[in-house]
Chain A
Amino acid sequence: MSFAQVLLENVVRVAKEHNAKRVKYIQISIGNMLMLNPEQLKFCFDVIAKGTVAENAELEVEVVKAKIRCMMCGKDFEEFVGICDECGGIVTVEGGKDMILKKVEMEV
Protein backbone atom coordinates (compact mmCIF):
# COMPACT_ATOMS: atom_id res chain seq x y z
CA MET A 1 0.00 0.00 0.00
CA SER A 2 2.82 2.46 0.74
CA PHE A 3 4.25 1.73 -2.71
CA ALA A 4 0.87 2.53 -4.30
CA GLN A 5 0.65 5.67 -2.18
CA VAL A 6 4.04 7.02 -3.24
CA LEU A 7 3.16 6.22 -6.88
CA LEU A 8 -0.13 8.12 -6.67
CA GLU A 9 1.51 11.14 -5.02
CA ASN A 10 4.03 11.37 -7.85
CA VAL A 11 1.47 10.83 -10.61
CA VAL A 12 -0.79 13.54 -9.16
CA ARG A 13 2.20 15.88 -8.97
CA VAL A 14 3.17 15.24 -12.60
CA ALA A 15 -0.45 15.77 -13.67
CA LYS A 16 -0.60 19.06 -11.80
CA GLU A 17 2.66 20.26 -13.35
CA HIS A 18 1.11 19.74 -16.79
CA ASN A 19 -2.35 21.03 -15.87
CA ALA A 20 -3.80 17.69 -16.84
CA LYS A 21 -7.52 17.00 -16.55
CA ARG A 22 -7.13 13.25 -16.52
CA VAL A 23 -4.40 10.66 -16.36
CA LYS A 24 -5.01 7.89 -18.92
CA TYR A 25 -2.00 5.63 -18.67
CA ILE A 26 0.91 5.09 -16.27
CA GLN A 27 3.98 2.94 -16.83
CA ILE A 28 6.27 1.92 -14.00
CA SER A 29 9.08 -0.56 -13.47
CA ILE A 30 9.71 -2.40 -10.22
CA GLY A 31 12.69 -4.50 -9.19
CA ASN A 32 11.88 -8.14 -8.47
CA MET A 33 13.78 -8.01 -5.15
CA LEU A 34 11.10 -5.64 -3.83
CA MET A 35 8.90 -8.75 -3.98
CA LEU A 36 5.81 -6.80 -4.91
CA ASN A 37 2.94 -8.53 -6.65
CA PRO A 38 2.04 -6.33 -9.67
CA GLU A 39 -1.63 -7.33 -9.48
CA GLN A 40 -1.83 -6.34 -5.82
CA LEU A 41 -0.08 -3.08 -6.55
CA LYS A 42 -2.56 -2.32 -9.35
CA PHE A 43 -5.48 -3.14 -7.08
CA CYS A 44 -4.19 -0.86 -4.30
CA PHE A 45 -3.55 1.89 -6.80
CA ASP A 46 -7.07 1.64 -8.28
CA VAL A 47 -8.57 1.91 -4.81
CA ILE A 48 -6.65 4.96 -3.67
CA ALA A 49 -6.78 6.72 -7.05
CA LYS A 50 -10.57 7.04 -6.81
CA GLY A 51 -11.59 10.67 -6.73
CA THR A 52 -8.19 11.85 -7.98
CA VAL A 53 -7.01 12.91 -11.42
CA ALA A 54 -5.65 9.35 -11.88
CA GLU A 55 -8.96 7.58 -11.35
CA ASN A 56 -9.42 4.72 -13.85
CA ALA A 57 -5.94 5.24 -15.30
CA GLU A 58 -4.39 2.14 -16.82
CA LEU A 59 -1.31 1.05 -14.86
CA GLU A 60 1.34 -1.03 -16.58
CA VAL A 61 3.94 -2.66 -14.36
CA GLU A 62 7.20 -4.00 -15.76
CA VAL A 63 9.23 -6.22 -13.44
CA VAL A 64 13.01 -5.80 -13.71
CA LYS A 65 15.17 -8.67 -12.56
CA ALA A 66 18.15 -8.25 -10.27
CA LYS A 67 21.51 -9.60 -11.32
CA ILE A 68 22.16 -12.51 -8.96
CA ARG A 69 25.63 -13.92 -9.49
CA CYS A 70 28.24 -15.99 -7.71
CA MET A 71 31.31 -13.89 -6.95
CA MET A 72 33.61 -16.89 -7.36
CA CYS A 73 32.52 -18.80 -10.46
CA GLY A 74 30.17 -16.25 -12.06
CA LYS A 75 27.16 -18.54 -12.20
CA ASP A 76 23.88 -16.64 -12.63
CA PHE A 77 20.80 -17.40 -10.56
CA GLU A 78 17.11 -16.65 -11.03
CA GLU A 79 16.45 -16.40 -7.30
CA PHE A 80 18.62 -15.41 -4.37
CA VAL A 81 20.34 -18.45 -2.90
CA GLY A 82 23.09 -17.10 -0.62
CA ILE A 83 25.77 -19.66 -1.36
CA CYS A 84 26.54 -21.02 -4.82
CA ASP A 85 25.52 -24.66 -5.32
CA GLU A 86 28.38 -25.18 -7.81
CA CYS A 87 31.42 -23.84 -6.01
CA GLY A 88 30.30 -22.71 -2.55
CA GLY A 89 31.10 -19.06 -3.33
CA ILE A 90 29.11 -16.11 -2.03
CA VAL A 91 26.25 -15.02 -4.27
CA THR A 92 25.63 -11.30 -4.57
CA VAL A 93 22.61 -9.32 -5.68
CA GLU A 94 22.83 -6.24 -7.84
CA GLY A 95 19.76 -4.06 -8.47
CA GLY A 96 16.20 -5.30 -8.26
CA LYS A 97 15.30 -2.73 -5.61
CA ASP A 98 14.15 0.20 -7.73
CA MET A 99 10.71 1.52 -8.43
CA ILE A 100 10.64 3.97 -11.33
CA LEU A 101 7.77 6.00 -12.74
CA LYS A 102 8.57 5.83 -16.44
CA LYS A 103 5.70 7.27 -18.41
CA VAL A 104 2.49 9.21 -17.80
CA GLU A 105 -0.12 9.84 -20.48
CA MET A 106 -2.59 12.59 -19.76
CA GLU A 107 -5.42 14.58 -21.25
CA VAL A 108 -4.84 18.30 -20.97
Chain B
Amino acid sequence: MHKIEVDAEIDLLEENRRLAEENRKILKEKGIVTINIMGAIGSGKTLLIERTVQSLKDFKIGAILGDVIAKDDYKRIAKYGVKAVPLNTGKECHLDAHLVHHALEDFELDGLDVLFIENVGNLICPVDFDLGEDYRVVMVSVTEGDDVVAKHPEIFRLADVIIINKIALADAVEADVDKMFKDAKRLNPNAKIIRMDLKRGIGFDEWMEWLKCVLQSRGRS
Protein backbone atom coordinates (compact mmCIF):
# COMPACT_ATOMS: atom_id res chain seq x y z
CA MET B 1 0.00 0.00 0.00
CA HIS B 2 1.28 3.47 -0.80
CA LYS B 3 0.05 7.03 -0.71
CA ILE B 4 -0.73 9.18 -3.69
CA GLU B 5 -1.63 12.84 -3.88
CA VAL B 6 -3.81 14.17 -6.68
CA ASP B 7 -4.12 17.85 -7.58
CA ALA B 8 -7.73 17.64 -8.58
CA GLU B 9 -8.74 21.28 -9.26
CA ILE B 10 -12.38 20.28 -9.74
CA ASP B 11 -14.99 23.02 -9.79
CA LEU B 12 -17.61 21.47 -7.50
CA LEU B 13 -20.43 23.82 -8.47
CA GLU B 14 -19.92 23.35 -12.18
CA GLU B 15 -22.61 20.66 -12.45
CA ASN B 16 -25.41 22.93 -11.21
CA ARG B 17 -24.19 25.77 -13.45
CA ARG B 18 -24.13 23.47 -16.47
CA LEU B 19 -27.65 22.17 -15.82
CA ALA B 20 -28.94 25.71 -15.18
CA GLU B 21 -27.53 26.83 -18.53
CA GLU B 22 -29.18 23.83 -20.16
CA ASN B 23 -32.54 24.75 -18.59
CA ARG B 24 -32.04 28.37 -19.66
CA LYS B 25 -31.34 27.32 -23.24
CA ILE B 26 -34.42 25.07 -23.44
CA LEU B 27 -36.67 27.79 -22.01
CA LYS B 28 -35.17 30.56 -24.15
CA GLU B 29 -35.62 28.54 -27.33
CA LYS B 30 -39.32 28.23 -26.54
CA GLY B 31 -39.51 31.96 -25.80
CA ILE B 32 -40.64 31.35 -22.22
CA VAL B 33 -40.04 34.01 -19.57
CA THR B 34 -38.92 32.20 -16.43
CA ILE B 35 -39.20 33.78 -13.00
CA ASN B 36 -37.70 32.32 -9.82
CA ILE B 37 -39.68 33.52 -6.81
CA MET B 38 -37.80 33.34 -3.54
CA GLY B 39 -38.66 34.45 -0.04
CA ALA B 40 -39.32 33.31 3.51
CA ILE B 41 -42.13 31.01 4.58
CA GLY B 42 -45.38 32.94 4.64
CA SER B 43 -44.05 35.99 2.82
CA GLY B 44 -46.74 35.68 0.14
CA LYS B 45 -45.03 33.87 -2.74
CA THR B 46 -47.89 31.52 -3.56
CA LEU B 47 -50.51 34.27 -3.27
CA LEU B 48 -48.49 36.43 -5.65
CA ILE B 49 -48.54 33.63 -8.22
CA GLU B 50 -52.29 33.06 -7.62
CA ARG B 51 -53.15 36.73 -8.18
CA THR B 52 -50.84 36.97 -11.18
CA VAL B 53 -52.35 33.89 -12.81
CA GLN B 54 -55.84 35.38 -12.30
CA SER B 55 -54.95 38.64 -13.99
CA LEU B 56 -52.86 37.26 -16.85
CA LYS B 57 -55.77 35.42 -18.44
CA ASP B 58 -54.52 35.90 -22.00
CA PHE B 59 -51.23 34.18 -21.34
CA LYS B 60 -50.34 30.56 -21.03
CA ILE B 61 -48.72 30.10 -17.65
CA GLY B 62 -46.89 27.25 -16.00
CA ALA B 63 -45.74 26.93 -12.41
CA ILE B 64 -43.32 24.74 -10.52
CA LEU B 65 -44.08 24.77 -6.81
CA GLY B 66 -41.15 23.85 -4.62
CA ASP B 67 -41.92 22.67 -1.13
CA VAL B 68 -40.14 20.50 1.38
CA ILE B 69 -43.19 18.31 1.79
CA ALA B 70 -46.94 18.49 1.00
CA LYS B 71 -48.67 19.75 -2.12
CA ASP B 72 -50.73 22.63 -0.72
CA ASP B 73 -49.08 25.31 -2.84
CA TYR B 74 -49.51 23.17 -5.92
CA LYS B 75 -53.25 22.76 -5.23
CA ARG B 76 -53.66 26.50 -4.76
CA ILE B 77 -52.26 27.19 -8.23
CA ALA B 78 -53.59 24.16 -10.12
CA LYS B 79 -57.21 25.14 -9.33
CA TYR B 80 -56.92 28.05 -11.79
CA GLY B 81 -56.44 25.59 -14.60
CA VAL B 82 -52.81 26.43 -15.29
CA LYS B 83 -50.26 23.71 -15.69
CA ALA B 84 -48.60 23.26 -12.31
CA VAL B 85 -46.06 20.76 -11.08
CA PRO B 86 -45.35 20.12 -7.39
CA LEU B 87 -41.71 19.64 -6.55
CA ASN B 88 -40.97 18.19 -3.13
CA THR B 89 -37.39 18.54 -2.02
CA GLY B 90 -37.57 16.38 1.12
CA LYS B 91 -34.91 17.63 3.50
CA GLU B 92 -33.37 20.02 1.02
CA CYS B 93 -33.99 23.68 1.72
CA HIS B 94 -33.78 24.93 -1.87
CA LEU B 95 -34.44 23.94 -5.46
CA ASP B 96 -31.53 23.20 -7.76
CA ALA B 97 -31.10 23.08 -11.51
CA HIS B 98 -31.25 19.29 -11.55
CA LEU B 99 -34.67 19.15 -9.84
CA VAL B 100 -36.03 21.83 -12.15
CA HIS B 101 -34.57 20.01 -15.15
CA HIS B 102 -36.69 16.97 -14.31
CA ALA B 103 -39.76 19.08 -13.55
CA LEU B 104 -39.51 20.61 -17.03
CA GLU B 105 -39.99 17.14 -18.49
CA ASP B 106 -43.58 17.22 -17.20
CA PHE B 107 -44.40 20.36 -19.15
CA GLU B 108 -45.69 20.86 -22.65
CA LEU B 109 -43.36 23.81 -23.21
CA ASP B 110 -44.64 24.73 -26.67
CA GLY B 111 -46.86 27.78 -26.45
CA LEU B 112 -46.06 28.52 -22.82
CA ASP B 113 -45.49 32.25 -22.17
CA VAL B 114 -44.42 32.40 -18.54
CA LEU B 115 -43.02 29.88 -16.10
CA PHE B 116 -43.06 30.70 -12.39
CA ILE B 117 -40.77 28.70 -10.16
CA GLU B 118 -41.65 29.07 -6.50
CA ASN B 119 -38.58 28.23 -4.48
CA VAL B 120 -38.60 26.66 -1.03
CA GLY B 121 -39.33 29.21 1.73
CA ASN B 122 -35.84 30.28 2.73
CA LEU B 123 -33.70 33.42 2.34
CA ILE B 124 -30.31 31.74 2.47
CA CYS B 125 -29.97 28.42 0.69
CA PRO B 126 -31.60 29.18 -2.71
CA VAL B 127 -29.14 32.02 -3.40
CA ASP B 128 -26.33 30.00 -4.92
CA PHE B 129 -28.41 27.65 -7.01
CA ASP B 130 -29.11 29.10 -10.42
CA LEU B 131 -32.14 27.28 -11.85
CA GLY B 132 -31.90 28.68 -15.36
CA GLU B 133 -34.34 31.52 -14.70
CA ASP B 134 -34.44 34.90 -16.47
CA TYR B 135 -35.42 36.91 -13.41
CA ARG B 136 -35.15 36.56 -9.67
CA VAL B 137 -37.87 37.93 -7.44
CA VAL B 138 -37.37 38.09 -3.68
CA MET B 139 -40.38 38.59 -1.47
CA VAL B 140 -40.31 39.53 2.19
CA SER B 141 -43.05 40.69 4.54
CA VAL B 142 -42.94 43.32 7.27
CA THR B 143 -43.93 40.62 9.77
CA GLU B 144 -40.47 39.08 9.40
CA GLY B 145 -39.03 42.15 11.14
CA ASP B 146 -37.77 45.29 9.44
CA ASP B 147 -34.16 44.10 9.69
CA VAL B 148 -34.81 41.06 7.48
CA VAL B 149 -33.39 42.75 4.36
CA ALA B 150 -30.18 43.93 6.02
CA LYS B 151 -29.67 40.48 7.55
CA HIS B 152 -29.77 38.62 4.24
CA PRO B 153 -27.69 40.78 1.88
CA GLU B 154 -26.77 38.14 -0.68
CA ILE B 155 -30.27 37.21 -1.82
CA PHE B 156 -31.22 40.89 -2.23
CA ARG B 157 -27.97 41.76 -3.98
CA LEU B 158 -28.75 39.27 -6.74
CA ALA B 159 -32.48 39.99 -7.15
CA ASP B 160 -34.16 41.72 -10.09
CA VAL B 161 -37.32 42.53 -8.16
CA ILE B 162 -37.64 42.99 -4.39
CA ILE B 163 -41.15 42.96 -2.94
CA ILE B 164 -41.88 44.17 0.58
CA ASN B 165 -45.26 42.63 1.35
CA LYS B 166 -47.94 43.06 4.04
CA ILE B 167 -47.16 46.77 4.49
CA ALA B 168 -50.66 47.38 5.89
CA LEU B 169 -49.56 45.39 8.95
CA ALA B 170 -46.42 47.47 9.50
CA ASP B 171 -47.80 49.53 12.38
CA ALA B 172 -49.19 46.48 14.17
CA VAL B 173 -45.81 44.73 14.14
CA GLU B 174 -43.86 47.99 14.57
CA ALA B 175 -41.91 47.54 11.35
CA ASP B 176 -40.36 50.45 9.50
CA VAL B 177 -41.17 49.94 5.80
CA ASP B 178 -38.94 52.86 4.76
CA LYS B 179 -35.97 51.22 6.48
CA MET B 180 -36.63 47.98 4.56
CA PHE B 181 -36.92 49.93 1.31
CA LYS B 182 -33.68 51.84 2.01
CA ASP B 183 -31.82 48.64 2.94
CA ALA B 184 -32.96 47.01 -0.31
CA LYS B 185 -31.98 50.07 -2.35
CA ARG B 186 -28.56 50.20 -0.68
CA LEU B 187 -27.85 46.51 -1.35
CA ASN B 188 -29.19 46.58 -4.86
CA PRO B 189 -29.62 50.00 -6.51
CA ASN B 190 -30.65 48.39 -9.81
CA ALA B 191 -33.52 46.26 -8.55
CA LYS B 192 -37.17 47.15 -8.92
CA ILE B 193 -38.42 47.53 -5.35
CA ILE B 194 -42.15 47.33 -4.67
CA ARG B 195 -44.08 48.15 -1.50
CA MET B 196 -47.01 45.73 -1.49
CA ASP B 197 -49.96 44.47 0.44
CA LEU B 198 -51.32 41.69 -1.71
CA LYS B 199 -54.45 40.99 0.33
CA ARG B 200 -55.43 44.66 0.07
CA GLY B 201 -54.36 45.02 -3.53
CA ILE B 202 -51.60 47.54 -2.78
CA GLY B 203 -48.59 47.47 -5.10
CA PHE B 204 -49.98 44.68 -7.25
CA ASP B 205 -50.40 46.99 -10.26
CA GLU B 206 -46.76 47.97 -10.02
CA TRP B 207 -45.77 44.30 -10.09
CA MET B 208 -48.02 43.63 -13.09
CA GLU B 209 -46.59 46.63 -14.87
CA TRP B 210 -43.07 45.25 -14.43
CA LEU B 211 -44.17 41.78 -15.54
CA LYS B 212 -45.99 43.06 -18.63
CA CYS B 213 -42.96 45.13 -19.54
CA VAL B 214 -40.79 42.02 -19.35
CA LEU B 215 -43.28 40.00 -21.42
CA GLN B 216 -43.45 42.74 -24.02
CA SER B 217 -39.68 42.95 -24.30
CA ARG B 218 -39.70 39.24 -25.09
CA GLY B 219 -42.38 39.61 -27.72
CA ARG B 220 -45.10 38.10 -25.54
CA SER B 221 -47.93 40.58 -25.38
Is B7 located at the chain interface by the 8 A CB criterion? Answer: yes
Known contacts A7-B12, A10-B12, A99-B13; decide if A108 and B2 are in contact (CB<8 Å).
Answer: yes
Main SS of the interface on chain B? mixed
Contact status A28-B124, CB under 8 Å: no
**For the side of the interface on B, what is the size category?**
20 to 34
Contact status B2-A83, CB under 8 Å: no
Q: Chain A, 66-85, contact with B by CB distance < 8 Å: what is the 0/1 string?
A: 00000000000000111100
**What is the minimal beta-carbon distance from B184 to any residue of chain A, in angstroms?**
9
**Closest Cβ neighbor of A11 among chain B residues:** B8
Q: Chain A, 1-36, contact with B by CB distance < 8 Å: what is the 0/1 string?
A: 111001100100010001011001000100001110
Main SS of the interface on chain A? mixed
Other-chain residue from A3, A24, A80, A98 in contact with B154 (beta carbon distance below 8 A): A80
Contact status B1-A108, CB under 8 Å: yes
Q: Which residues of A contact B (CB under 8 A)?
A: 1-3, 6-7, 10, 14, 18, 20-21, 24, 28, 33-35, 80-83, 90, 93, 97-108
Q: Which residues of B contact A (CB under 8 A)?
A: 1-13, 15-16, 91-92, 94, 96, 124-125, 128-129, 153-154, 157, 186-189
